[in-house]
Structure 1
Amino acid sequence: MENLDYYNAAINERPNIYKRVIHVLTFNTRRLLKRRFFIALVFFLIIFQFLTMFQTYSVIITNIKYKTRNYLYNHGWLPCSLRKEPILYMIDTQKLMAVWETNCILDNVRIQWYEKSIDNEINRSDILEPIEIDNSHYVYKGIIGPITSNGYYEFEIIHSLYTKIISSYFQFFPSIPDDPNSTYPIQIIAFADNQFGLSVFNRLVQSASQKTSPNFIIHAGDGVQEYNNLQQWQTDFYDPLANYKLTKHAPIIYAHGNHDFDPKNLYNYTTDTSWYSLTIANTRWIVLDSNIDDINQDLWLSNELSSPETQNKDFKIVIVHIPPFMEFWDPIAWNEKKEKHWGEFVRTRFAPLFNKYGVDLVISGHQHNYQRGQSNGTVYTIIGGAGGELDFDRVEDWSIYNVVRKTHHYISIEIWSDKIIWKAYNLEGFIIDSFELRKGS
């Protein structure tokens, strides 16, 4: 009888033993999982820190490379060569300006071009004379065009007995393509206000070059901090674009800002046209100068916007450095130093014309952050985040912007036959805003 009672007691105790075993196993499993999670987290943080340090060191090394090369050129320690590779600037629908620089004078320099797809004759410029800035800066400018048909074009810079210095190619769209499927999308990258922010601009250019090979580049002004500073044009503007080959095949549509404004209108390193317009496939681009309060610009803009060349396009786009509607700036500079009045005519005189003639998109810089909004059917964007110190202080509220991003960034634009796709990317390569403009919307 005692054995039976003992057996029954053991049976009754068994669930408690099972519970204790399960509890121990569960506790140990959870502790192991927590330990593994902790180890994985630490490992991830170490890798992230390593990549961050590597990226930082990479940027520092690249910046040192730019400045060392510039120093060697300035002190005559490098042989006669290109210190700035050619950059192409759009000047109208059918013409581009190639700008490059050497550290010496070359004889009989010319630029020649031809269409790649057919056996066309070579077009060749007259002999180009350099702009001598000093004994190590000789700037050459040559016009390519007129180009009247869509296609791929090769250009070469030659000197003396037709010795080729450098060559490259670009794709051109002076008219609406016959075969949209083989043309679209047209890829465009946009920046503004890199100024003295070389490290940031370098990272943005690198990121953009890894995502796409653009057909065109937009720069909405302030490519350098000080217009007369030759080193800044070399290391802070040209070198990043050349290093990542972003401008090797992509002409720039450039709008002058207040930091790269030349009151003498010489513009050694950019296009020397203050305001101009051009066609890219089904889009009309109008570039304005917010530095120049001149009634002639108003008259030109009104004529341009009302012209059949503009009105017949699917999309009408304006680029102007100072935005019509600014909201962020240094409060003391804005109020006490009266900088709120800089380019005020863009809002009071130009914006009503944008509304009257149905401008689809306005692209500006100047303000160092990102904004997007809409007023009277026109989308207004501010893209001044390519390197300059960011603006965080609100000084106005125009109640038109619904997107604000206080971070450095660049823009990707895709032109299609029936739409424009816009994406803004931050330094880490993540999308911080996007939208579409539809034909006829």
Structure 2
Amino acid sequence: MEITFELGYALDTFYFLICGALVMWMAAGFTMLEAGLVRAKNTTEILTKNVALYSISCIMYMVCGYSIMYGGGEFTMFLSGITADGATGAAEPATYAPAADFFFQVVFVATAMSIVSGAVAERMKLWAFLAFAVVLTGFIYPMEGAWTWGGESVFGMYTLGDNGFSDFAGSGIVHMAGAAAALAGVLLLGARKGKYSADGRANAIPGANLPLATLGMFILWMGWFGFNGGSVLATATVESANAVAVVFMNTNAAAAGGLVAALLFAQILFKKADLTMALNGALAGLVAITAEPSTPSPLQATLFGAIGGIVVVLSIIGLDKLKIDDPVGAISVHGVVGLLGLLLVPITNDGSTFSGQLLGAVTIFVWVFATSFIAWSIIKAVIGIRVSEEEEYEGVDISECGLEAYPDFTTKRN
């Protein structure tokens, strides 16, 4: 019996760590996607933001975020006596190493912050963005995480799980939360110069490197298997291994459905096979299935992804009409489709309810948007959040980072 437990513990821990590494690799996906969808003169800052936000997320979640999210008034991972053998003094042994749980959770925090990066690209000050990263990863995200995955009541008033709320891997908890923070920043930041004409028409500002953006999408697609698959939390039993396989299958199906639907819908609307819409369609499919990838059939997962692919195209068009400038479509992909993913859960999961999903969605959005708006406003008042018009014209690579990503190809500004 002891040998069986130790083998299961080792397998679950190893699986957890591998899935965490896949989610960590999503940081590269976000980096490449964003670097491909911005103009060449803003590439270096995008790269700097993404490597820095990942590091800040790891530090802040270690210092205080994990404790806020899962309880305890101390540095949970490093002051509670966790040892290399996983011993914690708990009455019931964990099925995987506690340090593995921390690692898996921290890469989710970084994912939420990565969503913000693309939405505020090309006109935000680097250090203003990094200051906000400290607040989001150390406080804002852990608080809403405590009310959802942490199982705590919302300001002592109600518990989301007891009201029929379910979010398997984070359509709302991670993706919609990141989009809410991004929306608050974008509203205070304003649109890029030249994005909207005086008559309200949106002008296309093409990205510099679509092959790089496509690579980023595929990296995210691959990393999502860890994002959703790791959320099964185990693989050492027949039941859990089967669950993992179903989650992988449905995650892949939803991404495929989202890409094809977005590509076809873009062809109908624009008479062109728009690659950027196809890329965002795949990501929308992934976001849509993240709230519940374990209970749909493969056909349902494909249809859910397809709905996400159509919704994201409509959302991107709609936000442009509202003059909400999001260079990479992050608010639409992760916010609007994140909400969609939550609302799709009760169709296949009878343990959730539409009212519970709505309550959870409203709680997450209001908390993250309100606190983010306050944080962005304070940062704006203290150091400012937007570069000057001249710096924006020249490109934030030079003004913020002092070097260009493509020095041989960016002599002409646009």
Same fold (TM over 0.5): no
Smaller-chain TM-score bracket: under 0.3
Structure with more of its chain in strand, by fraction = 1
- Please state which structure has a larger fraction of its residues in helix: 2
Between 1 and 2, higher relative CO (CA 8 Å, sep ≥ 6) is seen in 2
